[in-house]
Amino acid sequence: MSKLEELEGFFSPKVVGFYGVSNVMQKFGTLHLTNLLSAGYQGKVIPIHPKEEEIIGFKAYQNIKEVPEKVDLVVIATPTEYINDILEECGQKGVSHAIVLSGGFLEVGNEKGQERMKTIADTYGMKIMGPNCSGEVVTPDINITHVPWPPREGGAAIISQSGTYAVQPLIAISSKIGLGISKIISVGNEVNTDLVDYLEAMEEDQKTTTIGIYFEAVRRGKEFIEAVERINKKKPIVIIPIGQTEAGTRSAKSHTAAITSPGFIIDSICEQTGAIKVKNSIEMLNLLNGFDSLPLPKGNRVGILTMGGGPGTLMSDLFESNGMKVPILSNKMQEKLKPWMPETASTMNPIDLTYSDDMQNYLNVLPDLLLKSDEIDSLIIYGLMGSEYHKNLVNVPESIKENPSIVTMRNFGEMMHDFFIAIFDELIKYKQKYDKPIILTCYNTREERFVAYLQDHGIPVYYPEEGVWALIRMWQYAHFLKEKGIK
């Protein structure tokens, strides 16, 4: 059986039993149940509760033995003391997979409890995610976490040894940057499935193109390194190590029940395997987004197309001080660009239009010319005309609110909508056409619907600094593969 098949019960359960749910508001378990329902889950959910006959409208059973059908997965959020007995019952019933959200085991020194859990699991051949974990997301329709907004479907898998990072921050940021997620897995205390297992499952998973890891402790060091080295050649791996200083280690130790590996181990693993170490969630998720949605850069030459000198300069600085080049374009190329640019613009690279309201030039004609040339390997663009820009005109003084010019301006976004979408669709095509990464940067965020459109259709939209870092690291990865003769 392949790793993915072994763990399949977590990823496509048809019937899910819930322990620790009730009709009481805010109950941790209930939140997981309702989030699964809100995500559009099409399977069956079965609450199991010692007293209630119905829980938020679903028939409840007192004991899993009474459930007439086969249960593929149980989710357990009861107090610690009941959990092993529940697992025993589930084992007898033939449940193959369990997510144990509750803590109270190795992480608080309850070695005995965790050992018994392992024995039960092994006896019945049951796979357990956790204990002391934050659950999982399997797009498009499974969200068994306490955060109610699952991210959109896509290719990034995330495996986390930090329960907290696996959910709130990750899901919130993923949604904000439009990152497409295949799976989020919170491994918890890893009683009988661990980081390496899930990593190997994601290696096989067809939907997963790139993998992010929140790393706190290595239990099977050799297997971990081998897996990272092998998988990273096919699916880029991004790692955040957590727990490197005294207080950090103290804190990590108290909540994951594992001996924390020092940061330098991660550095050496990354050096050996080509996996990429980053410092925080935003960097990781931006980078996964780049890997999932863009082709790799084939060289280190970047074209910068900008609506303003400041961001152009800043991006240039960052690229050039981190091993990439922002080459001056050939005279021939500059001549080609000139007719499409204002007189005060600079054609050297950064290609700086200073200001333009001609989005077709800016996001189609100029990118097409630049990407088509053999003078750059990637394109980064700064500046986006927003649809929300003129809505603020509702605040003008009452006396001019209905002035025809004001009304027209207020409706600008609406009027231009279809026209802009056509421009974006064209830009998105260039990415495949020229097989070069395109990143758009601006300070608008997802609340601006044009940003959401681009993000959801495969052009990452970031703050300028963030976009630069994503591209730098994509280039470092591409360079690693080249040097090793892999690609």
Q: Taking CB under 8 A as the criterion, which residues in 279-338 touch a second copy? A: 279-282, 304, 307-314, 316-317, 319-321, 325-326, 328
Determine the Cα–Cα distance for residues 169 and 186; give it in Å rounded to an integer.
13
104 near a second copy, rule: CB under 8 A = yes
**Which span sits near a second copy by CB under 8 A: 123-131, 192-200, 201-209, 393-401?**
393-401
Query: Is the separation of the CB atoms in 144 and 32 below 8 Å?
Result: yes
Nearer to a second copy (CB atom), residue 256 or residue 289 = 256
Determine the Cα–Cα distance for residues 462 and 466; give it in Å rounded to an integer.
6
The residue within the footprint of a second copy, chosen from 2, 14, 40, 419 (CB under 8 A), is 40
Name the residue with tokens 């949604």.
175
Length of the chain counted residue by residue: 487
**Which span sits near a second copy by CB under 8 A: 3-11, 31-39, 197-205, 286-294?**
31-39
Closest CA to 151 of 130, 128, 177, 127: 177
Smallest gap from Cβ 412 to a second copy, in A, equals 6
DSSP conformation letters of 390-422: TGGGGGS-GGGTT-HHHHHHHTHHHHHHHHHHH
256 near a second copy, rule: CB under 8 A = yes
Smallest gap from Cβ 229 to a second copy, in A, equals 26
68 near a second copy, rule: CB under 8 A = no
Residue 86, both tokens: 């529940």
Per-residue CA distances from 169 to 13, 19, 139, 175, 282 (Å): 26, 26, 17, 10, 9
15 near a second copy, rule: CB under 8 A = no
- Residues numbered 110 to 139 that lie near a second copy (CB under 8 A) are none
Nearer to a second copy (CB atom), residue 373 or residue 445 = 445
Helix (H/G/I), strand (E/B), else coil: 306: strand
Determine the Cα–Cα distance for residues 380 and 470; give it in Å rounded to an integer.
11
Nearer to a second copy (CB atom), residue 58 or residue 82 = 58
Nearer to a second copy (CB atom), residue 168 or residue 226 = 168
Smallest gap from Cβ 472 to a second copy, in A, equals 13
Determine the Cα–Cα distance for residues 325 and 366; give it in Å rounded to an integer.
19
Smallest gap from Cβ 257 to a second copy, in A, equals 11
**Which span sits near a second copy by CB under 8 A: 83-91, 229-237, 269-277, 441-449?**
441-449
52 near a second copy, rule: CB under 8 A = no
Nearer to a second copy (CB atom), residue 206 or residue 395 = 395
- Residues numbered 162 to 201 that lie near a second copy (CB under 8 A) are 162-165, 168-169, 172-173, 176
Smallest gap from Cβ 5 to a second copy, in A, equals 30
Angle at 247 between CA 241 and CA 251, to 5 degrees: 70
- Residues numbered 340 to 379 that lie near a second copy (CB under 8 A) are 343-344, 346, 348-350, 352, 354-355, 357
- In eight-state DSSP terms, residue 260 is P
389 near a second copy, rule: CB under 8 A = yes
Residue 71, both tokens: 């249960």
Nearer to a second copy (CB atom), residue 68 or residue 404 = 404
Peptide bond into 140 cis (omega under 30): yes
Residue 145, both tokens: 């976490």
The residue within the footprint of a second copy, chosen from 149, 268, 482, 484 (CB under 8 A), is 149
Nearer to a second copy (CB atom), residue 92 or residue 245 = 245
The residue within the footprint of a second copy, chosen from 234, 259, 267, 443 (CB under 8 A), is 443
Helix residue ranges, H only, 212-340: 221-232, 246-256, 263-273, 281-293, 309-320, 331-337
Determine the Cα–Cα distance for residues 294 and 475; give it in Å rounded to an integer.
12
- Residues numbered 224 to 253 that lie near a second copy (CB under 8 A) are 242-248, 250-252
Nearer to a second copy (CB atom), residue 95 or residue 129 = 129
Determine the Cα–Cα distance for residues 88 and 100; give it in Å rounded to an integer.
13
Q: Sheet holding 378-382: strands in order across?
A: 351-352, 302-306, 378-382, 438-441, 461-462
Nearer to a second copy (CB atom), residue 292 or residue 352 = 352
**Which span sits near a second copy by CB under 8 A: 18-26, 59-67, 192-200, 229-237?**
18-26
- How big is the site for a second copy, counted in residues (CB under 8 A)? 103
43 near a second copy, rule: CB under 8 A = no
25 near a second copy, rule: CB under 8 A = yes
Query: Is the separation of the CB atoms in 477 and 294 below 8 Å?
Result: no
The residue within the footprint of a second copy, chosen from 4, 409, 421, 452 (CB under 8 A), is 409
Determine the Cα–Cα distance for residues 258 and 250; give it in Å rounded to an integer.
11
Smallest gap from Cβ 111 to a second copy, in A, equals 15
